[in-house]
């Protein structure tokens, strides 16, 4: 797991966006796993800005969102579908048919969830899955207690999540109690995971997820089992990490290509000393 600690939300957003930009430049038909929530908004803003500067192109990209509220149609202002259009899709050249957000109004949840999983696999899997983390350590809507092998399914939200989300609804009675969410197992199959977290209220769940035991009580901790995870934090979100100085050290000393080529370096050194001995003679 690579942990990158940035100064503030703005640098975090730029750094996380750079991962996506590099991916799209390497693989223009990449499959992106997208997340909603306030944290990735800055990352999406960066992507839109780079798109406007013609630095990236979404014409061949496919996206899969992590989750959606059950009962909200895609045009409901609080639906995740609406959120994604507002923050990203409306501003870039992604074809409508390449966008996948779970259908919150399906009448057959099971069939829909199976289809969603099948589509991800049919397209070769998710190249990079963007993730936020909830105050209780959840990823997507995998609330505490979710199986770490879970797949896309209908999930009953925790009371605390319902309370946290109530601020977005005029009538607290309208806050959805269920969601369709990718499972922890689905997320772990993404080729690369990019977790972003900002602010002091994320310091504890981040410390638990990165340095705590792997437990279904903190579903983000399952990312410790994934072999290619990048976590981009600001100072506040990193403040409870025991090894934060080490993570900074690792980042600053990240080897550039060739740095670890000890064998070649040793050969060059031997060649040099052979030459100077020959010159001396």
Q: Which is nearer to ligand PGA, 37 or 125 (CB)?
A: 37
Cβ burial of 171 (10 Å; 0-12, 13-18, 19+) is exposed
Among 67, 68, 127, 234, the active-site one is 67
Shortest Cβ distance from residue 12 to ligand PGA (Å)? 12
Residue 136 catalytic?
yes
Tell which positions 33-52 bind ligand PGA, by CB under 6 A: 37-39
Pairing of strands 31-34, 128-131: parallel
Shortest Cβ distance from residue 177 to ligand PGA (Å)? 16
Residue 143 catalytic?
yes
Shortest Cβ distance from residue 133 to ligand PGA (Å)? 6
Tell which positions 208-247 bind ligand PGA, by CB under 6 A: none
- Interface characters, 129-168, with ligand PGA (x: CB under 6 A): ---xxx----------------------------------
Residues listed for the chain: 281
User: Does 102 contact ligand PGA by CB under 6 A?
Assistant: no
The structure tokens listed for 17 are 């966006």
Q: Which is nearer to ligand PGA, 44 or 98 (CB)?
A: 44
Shortest Cβ distance from residue 202 to ligand PGA (Å)? 7
Tell me which stretch binds ligand PGA (CB under 6 A): 31-39, 57-65, 73-81, 167-175. Answer: 31-39
Contact 200, 173 (CB under 8 A): no
Shortest Cβ distance from residue 247 to ligand PGA (Å)? 21
Q: Which is nearer to ligand PGA, 5 or 134 (CB)?
A: 134
The DSSP secondary structure of 241-259, one letter per residue, reads -TTHHHHHHHHHTPPPTTT
Q: Which is nearer to ligand PGA, 168 or 249 (CB)?
A: 168
Among 46, 68, 100, 138, the active-site one is 138
What are the beta bridge partners of residue 32?
63, 128
Q: Which is nearer to ligand PGA, 164 or 189 (CB)?
A: 164
Which spans of this chain sit near ligand PGA (rule: CB under 6 A)?
Answer: 37-39, 132-134
Residues taking part in catalysis: 67, 136, 138, 143
């Amino acid at each position: 797991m690579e942990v990158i600690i940035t100064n503030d939300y703005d640098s975090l957003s730029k750094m996380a966006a750079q991962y996506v930009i590099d991916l799209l430049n390497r693989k223009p038909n990449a499959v992106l796993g997208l997340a909603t929530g306030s944290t990735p908004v800055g990352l999406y803003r960066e992507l839109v800005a780079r798109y406007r500067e013609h630095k990236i192109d979404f014409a061949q990209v496919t996206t899969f969102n992590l989750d959606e509220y059950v009962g909200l149609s895609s045009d409901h202002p609080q639906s995740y579908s609406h959120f994604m259009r507002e923050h990203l899709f409306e501003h870039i050249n992604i074809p409508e048919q390449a966008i996948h957000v779970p259908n919150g109004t399906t009448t057959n949840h099971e069939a829909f969830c199976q289809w969603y999983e099948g589509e991800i696999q049919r397209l070769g899997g998710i190249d990079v899955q963007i993730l936020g983390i909830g105050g209780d350590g959840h990823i997507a809507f995998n609330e505490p207690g979710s199986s770490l092998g879970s797949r896309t399914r209908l999930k009953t939200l925790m009371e605390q999540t319902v309370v946290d989300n109530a601020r977005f609804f005029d009538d607290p009675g309208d806050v959805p109690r269920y969601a369709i969410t990718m499972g922890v197992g689905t997320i772990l199959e993404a080729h690369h995971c990019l977790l972003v977290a900002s602010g002091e209220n994320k310091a504890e769940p981040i410390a638990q997820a990165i340095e705590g035991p792997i437990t279904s009580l903190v579903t983000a901790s399952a990312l410790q089992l994934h072999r290619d995870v990048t976590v981009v934090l600001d100072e506040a979100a990193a403040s409870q990490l025991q090894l934060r100085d080490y993570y900074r050290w690792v980042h600053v000393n990240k080897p550039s290509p060739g740095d670890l080529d000890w064998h070649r370096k040793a050969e060059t050194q031997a060649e040099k000393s052979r030459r100077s001995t020959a010159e001396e003679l």
